[in-house]
A and B are shown apart, each in its own frame.
Chain A
């Protein structure tokens, strides 16, 4: 049995970067970084404002960049620069026009949000990688039944092409959601989540869902109070409904889904009365 003190030492030894000072970096020049930003974007011409992170496109690495500084600058340029780069790279006949890819992605997300597994499946390539979806490759359809059971609502915001490459067109769909009947309880909706899909030859070959649940308050306002309510009122259900001691993940067995439907309904009804 490892003691806590030894575990701490082992954990410290497992630090991949024990000394940040030992990292070899090019000279760090903040002024140059800002100058480059000013040249390449309108950000510097505006007074900085609080923005929604989800609208900031993920930067892409570009092989021709000679220095880390330039990588950082390019990282800040957003979707426009990224897509210009793709134009240079050219497109393959295997990729769809952007509007078709967006339609496919939108159809898939709408079917997913309607808990219609059959319709969602119709957008997928036979060997589509769904390991990043809720429930993973094996249980994504069970996850849809679970979503439906616990009063989940997906509200699609928009779908946009992120990047087009010979290997496929990546479309990002942002959505807000209610969960565990949060709408009925006067909570939410909860912002900041997304589904990304990769479209090739008119089919989705990869999809993953990125749930925001910490920063938007869902965990604190809904998930954790409900979990505590289950622990307090139905402790016998805990092991059936959750996979882990911290009650962070739901079980996707039919027995669990039935309980989720029942307990979330009771919880919401009680919350509405209080």
Chain B
């Protein structure tokens, strides 16, 4: 029995390690990815008798990774809420550089807008557009109904767009400031 589980786990590990690693990398800084991936597979091993087969395996692993990361994130969420309040008072908060390792300023704005959303809404957007999961898998992963996942995705996208647009002016100002400082007019 254990040997069967071992064979199964080996296959699953080799097939999905890269995807789980990427899932974690999309959500945490590089320093934490190894740990998060390791803990995900450790939990997966301990729960392997619950593991679904076929196409449902990877979403199941994502679900474990989501829970693993939640433990790491909650403190961060609260910090961001505090930062949001400080920002509303005009107080700038420095972010660790690894939080925004993104390709360009527009992507930076996307990440900033995303951080303003409710954690579950952020995750729904990531799962739908980065992991490209269908609503049914997202629903299972988050413990909600499929139609609720669809509605929440729609709401999250609207909120993201609103937050993104809000940042356009301030982004433009800061970009202009940088050009002026650097003498690049």
Interface residues of A (CB under 8 A from B): 1-4, 7-8, 10-17, 20-21, 23, 25, 28-31, 33-34, 37, 43-44, 46-51, 53, 56, 58-61, 68, 71-76, 131-134, 136-138, 194, 208-212, 214-215, 220, 244-246, 248-249
Is A51 a contact of B38 with CB atoms below 8 Å? Answer: no
CA distance A85 to B175 in the complex (A): 47
Q: A10-B164, A47-B2, A48-B46 are in contact. Are A28 and B18 (CB under 8 A)?
A: yes
| Interface SS of B by simple majority | helix
Interface residues of B in 50-64 (CB under 8 A from A): 50
Q: Is B102 an interface residue (CB 8 A)?
A: yes
Further contacts, 20 of them, CB under 8 A, given A11-B129, A76-B42: A16-B101, A16-B102, A28-B13, A30-B12, A34-B10, A46-B2, A50-B47, A51-B46, A56-B46, A58-B39, A71-B38, A74-B38, A76-B39, A132-B74, A133-B78, A209-B74, A209-B75, A210-B75, A215-B67, A246-B118
A72: chain B residues at CB < 8 Å are 34, 37-38, 41
Cβ of B161 within 8 Å of any chain A Cβ, yes or no, is: yes
Question: Which single member of B34, B50, B102, B155 contacts A71 (CB below 8 Å)?
Answer: B34
Knowing A30-B14, A50-B49, A210-B75 are in contact, say whether A13-B160 is a contact too (CB < 8 A). Answer: no
Contacts of B74 in A (CB 8 A): 132, 208-211
Is A56 within 8 A of B43, CB to CB?
yes
Complex: A245 Cα to B82 Cα, angstroms: 17
Q: Does B136 lie at the interface of the complex (its beta carbon under 8 Å from any beta carbon of A)? A: no
Ordered by A's residue number, 25 sampled pairs between the chains whose C-beta atoms are within 8 Å are A8-B129, A12-B130, A14-B106, A14-B111, A15-B129, A21-B18, A23-B22, A30-B13, A34-B10, A48-B2, A48-B46, A50-B50, A51-B47, A58-B35, A59-B35, A72-B34, A76-B42, A131-B78, A136-B82, A208-B74, A208-B75, A208-B78, A209-B78, A214-B120, A249-B118
Name the contact of B22 in the complex, choosing from A17, A136, A215 (C-beta under 8 A). A17
> How many angstroms from the CA of A209 to the CA of B75 in the assembled complex?
7
The residue on B at minimum CB distance from A41 is B42
Q: Which residue of A lies closest to B43 (CB)?
A: A53
